[in-house]
Copies of this chain bind each other. A is one copy, B any other.
Amino acid sequence: MIITISREFGSGGRELGKRLSNVLEIPCYDKEIIQMIAEKQGFDEQYVSHISEKNLQAAYPRTIGCRFTMTPHPVTKQAVTIAVEQQKIIKTFAAQGDCIMIGRCADVILKEYNPFNIFVYADMDTKLKRCIERAPKGENLTPTELERKIREVDKERAKHREFYISAKENARSNYHLCINTSSIEIKKIVPVLAEYIKVWFEIRIENKARNV
């Protein structure tokens, strides 16, 4: 039972994952991945977190339409190192057994495990409210600045995702359930969502037994 959660920034995907983890009694990996990369590569955790869902396309030398091959900037080179390390760690965690993975294209990286892939999204008002309530200490963004930040993070994540999966494939078809968390308390939907996931895995086991 491997569950992946992709999400819009501020939609509550992480909370959903942590609560599902409690109900299903399986580990949930999120910051743990960052911590392991930071430790292994000797980078600062904050830095890895910042860079781990950035656009990776920019990290590759552009040769077409350029007179000279442009070598990648050291920061983007590190982004690739981190992405490679991230993949390894995600696969290691998955190999250990049932778990929930937050973000980091785990749904694509772990395709061979046939995980249950959730996408979490919400309207902008809900995301703004959530971000304001949970703003890190010292971050005093205005709603306009916050909205810009939300859009930027999502844009970077989408570009990062394109490194693993083409934009055409990258539609809802990769997800088994897309959940709109607008104006709902996540803790209230988690128990019934856990039941839905259990049923889905039961069907999959039955199909396998019948060779469907």
Contacts and interface: CB of A to CB of B under 8 A. Distances in A.
Interface residues of A, number: 28
Interface of A: 119, 121, 123, 172-173, 175-180, 182-185, 188-189, 192-193, 195-196, 199-200, 202-204, 207, 212
Contact of A172 (B121, B184, B202, B212): B121
Kindly report how many copies of this chain are found in the complex they form together.
2
Contact of A189 (B119, B175, B188, B200): B200
Contacts of A184: 200, 203-204
Contacts of A200: 184, 189
Contacts of A185: 203
Contacts of A189: 196, 199-200, 203
